[in-house]
Structure 1
Amino acid sequence: MTELHLWLRHEIRSTERRTPIVPADARRLVESGMTVTVEESVQRIFPVEEYERAGCRIAPAGSWESAPEDAVVLGLKELPDGPELLIHRHVFFGHAYKRQPGAAALLRRFTAGGGALYDVEYLVDDDGRRLAAFGFWAGYLGAALAVLQHRGRLAVPLVPTAKEELDALLREGEEFTALVIGALGRSGRGACEAFRAAGAEPTRWDLAETRALDRPALLAHDVMVNAVLAASPVPPFLRDADLDDPARRLRTLCDVTCDVGSPLNVLPVYDRTTDWTAPARRLRERRPLDLIAIDNLPSLLPRESSTDFSAALLPQLLQFGTGAAWVRGLGRFHQACREAGVGEGEARHV
């Protein structure tokens, strides 16, 4: 799409070191005829000079607000609180389509400004499978942190690392039992790999096992990772009463999906996520139970996770606006606006 102007924004979250497009793939976009502008960012794992050598234009951090109206703003995590009117098309993980806290306010900013959100979580193929995701690395890191917490070896605050260093840490420590729910998905496969690196062959549950949940069996594991992001209501995997079950062996829980606040949350036993400064939160003191629920886990391995994600997103960006996945994505945005009761009177992107 030769007329597309893609604008890679700086991430406002200080712990976000990933990028949706790495310099090598940015070069391919430029060579395809696109204009690619990259904002300066002190934390992005790839220096801005690498993008400049790839043929990209360079702009100050946060300057997307004054970008040409036809530019497509590309990012990963949340936008700043301003401007109130969002006039551009944005591609990022909006977390606004399942009535999450703040969802209606974000959608209202788009509709008021005439912009549109293409949520990467809903960029899917004809069968509903996501086309670009950080899931594997989210699962891997979620399980790795859970292991280190369980063994009393989780150093805080968290800092980005290399996979080789993390694997070396996982190989040291006592034995434990592990459960992965959603084991057949990307995140689940990543979690299983981390547990194997730590010397544990995890129990793997997926749809068949959660359809008739064996809760005593769940509670009999030492460590659990949830990798299920529900798209429709399902009975919760854990309830408050389960945490007080005298037979509970479970001591460390990691929720990779971090769907807190959503009515579809399968782990309604906590009300806020954790972060790099305080990655684990104690849910119960008697028979201790610790929770890890960090919503940007792959940023702890920013180079590996960015490279994989960029490779998956690149072919989609080369078809931006015309590919069926983008048409579906725009339709999902309008559906979410209707469901949230947010007007679309000035929307330009239909």
Structure 2
Amino acid sequence: MKIGLIKEGKIPADKRVSFTPDQLAALAEKYAGQLSFFVESSQVRCFTDLEYQEAGIEVVYDISFCDLLMGIKEVPIEQLIENKTYLFFSHTIKKQSHNRKLLQAILEKNISLIDYELLKDQQGNRTVAFGRWAGIVGAYNGLWTYGQKSGLFDLKRAFECFDREEIKRELRKVQLPPIKIVVTGTGRVAKGVKEVLDEVGIRSVQQKDFLVQYFDEPVYTVLSGSDYNRRKTDGGFDKEEFYNSPDKYESHFLKYTEVSDILIAAAYWDHRAPKLFQLEDLRSEDFSLSVIADITCDINGSVPTTLRVSTIADPVFDIDRDTFTELPAFGKQTSISVMAIDNLPTELPRDASDEFGSQLTTHFIPELLQEKSSVLEKATITKDGDLTIEFIYLKDYVDERENFEKDDEEY
């Protein structure tokens, strides 16, 4: 089997890659005679063509001879090669409207599409993801935003740092007053956030203490869904019911907005679930949030101030508390500054790619070598010009009989 790493075509181009040069060299040696690897030449990839060549991997300008084509972000329709197998984050399984035409084209071109997001173990847990790096960069950017707004410290932008070690060195510059930071989520992303906050020396405290106590140092607390969602009928919480029927619940997150200075949103959100707060809540004198780092980056999602996605080049916009309209970043001291970059891991692409490639080496490559893999079958959205059984529910979406606006990243 010939495996090709494609050049990212989506604009702006993502710098991440599925495997590092060293990882491909190791795989080529281990699976000699079974798998061969090729890299499509790219000027933007975080690892240069020369680095791959020095590792003994052939760099080509035409990748169409490969059997499996691996990328990161969605492949532009005009760059899809018919009758091939692709593996990338397609952002189609939740019927994201902006990628409907992509899935239509994939079917028309008889492409087999495997999605990273669907690679799972026997317990249903995802085996490959960039979540930790989204959390690391998202937390760093949240602190950078606070530093810019307060003028208390000045960090390099994350993308200007060569690697994770340089991020650690930059974090030594952070000097915070006794503020409170609230973090939503307990998964990979939130663990990445916690990693950064702990490095800075910010103390983690229990939710109850966070709400009622004064601290003479900066502190943070981490919330799970049960900490800020309650059943509408009796105020209770049942995890299974919440996941299956989140519309039966309401948010009671406002008590955290009354005592917090920074919100780092790192929890997956179902479009049926309640929002953390409403825009109207911003007008309250009790609403204390000054900076919001929305790693989830759902437009019109759990964080209503995320009116749009921001970019690495232009990472922050402000929201006026009275009119709810967008202002330039740090335009008013009283406005809320929002960081909502939707491709955070690409700010530390070498580290993120290295960890991602390790996950693929462990969990994906062995499945690829099996004569029949249930893991790959369940992760395959299209095959032989049609939707697979697992994803037949996308038929109305493909046929344009439904209109969905939900958007999710690959974290």
Aligned to 2:90, what secondary structure does the other structure show?
A: coil
Q: Which moved more, 1:44-53 or 1:154-163?
A: 154-163
Q: CA deviation at 1:191?
A: 0.4
Q: Write out per-residue CA displacement over residues 47-71 of structure 1, whole angstroms, 9 at most, x where no aligned residue.
A: 22332344433212xx34xx13x62
Letter in 2 for 1:278: D
Q: What does residue 221 of structure 1 align with?
A: 260
Which blocks of at least 5 consecutive residues in structure 1 are unaligned? 344-350
Q: Which residue of 1 aligns with 2:294?
A: 255
Larger radius of gyration: 2
- Root-mean-square deviation (Å): 2.5
- Aligned-residue offset at 1:231: 5.0
SS of the residue 1:16 aligns to: coil
Cα distance per residue 1:8-64 (max 9 Å; x no partner): 01123456222111122212332312121101122222222332344433212xx34
Q: 2:2 aligns with which of 5, 11, 19?
A: 5
Helix, strand or coil at the partner of 1:127: coil
Q: 1:140 to 1:85 in 2, by over 3 A?
A: same
- TM-superposition CA deviations, 1:155-179 (whole Å, max 9, x none): 6695343323322332322233111
> Which residue does the alignment assign to 1:241?
280
Q: Secondary structure at the match of 2:268?
A: coil
- Structure 1 ranges of 4+ moved more than 6 A: none
Q: Is the aligned partner of 1:100 residue 2:96?
A: yes
Most deviating of 333-342 and 245-254: 333-342
Gap change, CA 1:242 and 1:95, over 3 Å in 2: farther
* TM-aligned CA distance change 1:233 to 1:38, over 3 Å: same
| Match 2:180 to one of 171, 174, 177 | 177
Deviations 1:163-202 (A, max 9, x none): 23322332322233111111x2111011011122233232
Query: Does residue 347 of structure 2 align to residue 300 of structure 1?
Result: yes
Return the TM-score normalized by structure 1.
0.85
Alpha-carbon distance in 1 for matches of 2:147, 2:317: 15
Matched residue SS, 1:91? strand
Superposition map of 1:329-348 within 5 A: 329-331=379-381, 334=388, 335=391, 337-342=394-399
| One-letter amino acid matched to 2:223 | W
Deviation at 1:324, TM superposition (A): 2.5
Match of 1:27 in 2: 25
Percent of matched pairs sharing the same residue: 24
Within 5 Å, give how 1:113-192 maps onto structure 2: 113-152=109-148, 153=154, 158-171=159-172, 172-175=174-177, 176-182=179-185, 184-192=186-194
Runs of 5+ in structure 2 lacking a partner? 149-153, 204-219, 231-250, 321-331, 401-411
2:71 match: 75
Distance 1:245-1:177 versus aligned 2 partners, 3 A rule: same
Compute the TM-score of the two structures, normalised by the length of structure 2: 0.73
Number of aligned pairs? 331
Structure 2 counterpart of 1:288, from 327, 330, 335:
335
Whether contact under 8 Å (1:15, 1:276) holds in the other structure is: no
Is the 1:74–1:91 contact (alpha carbons within 8 Å) kept by the matching residues of 2? Answer: yes
User: How far apart in 2 are the matches of 1:267 and 1:324?
Assistant: 37
| Residues 108 and 44 of structure 1, relative CA distance in 2, 3 Å threshold | same
- Counterpart in the other structure of 1:205: 223
Task: Output the CA distance in 2 between the equivalents of 1:15 and 1:111.
Answer: 24
What is the CA deviation profile of residues 291-331 of structure 1, one whole-angstrom value per residue up to 9, with x for unaligned ones?
11112211222221111111001131232274332111115
Q: 1:295 to 1:87 in 2, by over 3 A?
A: farther
Aligned-residue offset at 1:258: 2.2
